[in-house]
Amino acid sequence: VNRLDFINNNIGFACGETIYKYTNNLGTFVKNELAKFPETPVINYPNPFNPSTTISVYVPETGILKVSIIDLLGKEIITLHNGWVNEGESSRKIVWNGLDNNKSQVPGGVYFCVIQNGNSIVNHKMLMLK
């Protein structure tokens, strides 16, 4: 557990590799396994980049992996991967060439790589230079 925060005298949360919730007055305890990603589940190199970057993704569990790029407004620019993967594929590498789903070059700026695997979602900030 990295940190323990209390909302009031009866409800507190602790987060680390797993997320815990404890409610004193109701006697409830919830252990949430959503936090399976390591501290750095995704990196891209180079960052900043122009015209392309290689994204390395850690896969915490077997299942569907979706890797997409979104802009600052939350609009999905392109889906780079949407398919089955096996747990522990830490060497999965995906190249983004700065194009959108219509194969048009996107303008320079801040973009986010969104990684979805099972119930886990992680965002990674990237900067495309022009």
Residue 17 φ/ψ, nearest 5 degrees: -70, -25
Residue with token string 């392309």:
52
Residue 37 φ/ψ, nearest 5 degrees: -70, 145
Is the confidence at residue 82, as pLDDT, over 80? yes
Do residues 117 and 123 lie in contact, with contact meaning Cβ atoms separated by under 8 Å?
Answer: no
Distance from C-alpha of 96 to C-alpha of 86, rounded to nearest angstrom: 22
pLDDT in tens, 60-71: 678 888 999 999
pLDDT band of residue 54 (cuts 50, 70, 90) is very high
pLDDT in tens, 103-130: 999 999 999 999 888 777 888 999 999 8
> Measured between alpha carbons, how far is residue 64 from residues 53, 116, 123 in Å?
23, 8, 17
Q: Where are the domains of the chain?
A: 3-32, 42-128
pTM, two decimal places: 0.67
Q: How many CA atoms lie within 13 A of 96 on its CB side?
A: 34
Indicate the CATH number for domain 42-128.
2.60.40.4070
pLDDT band of residue 53 (cuts 50, 70, 90) is very high
Distance from C-alpha of 75 to C-alpha of 101, rounded to nearest angstrom: 12
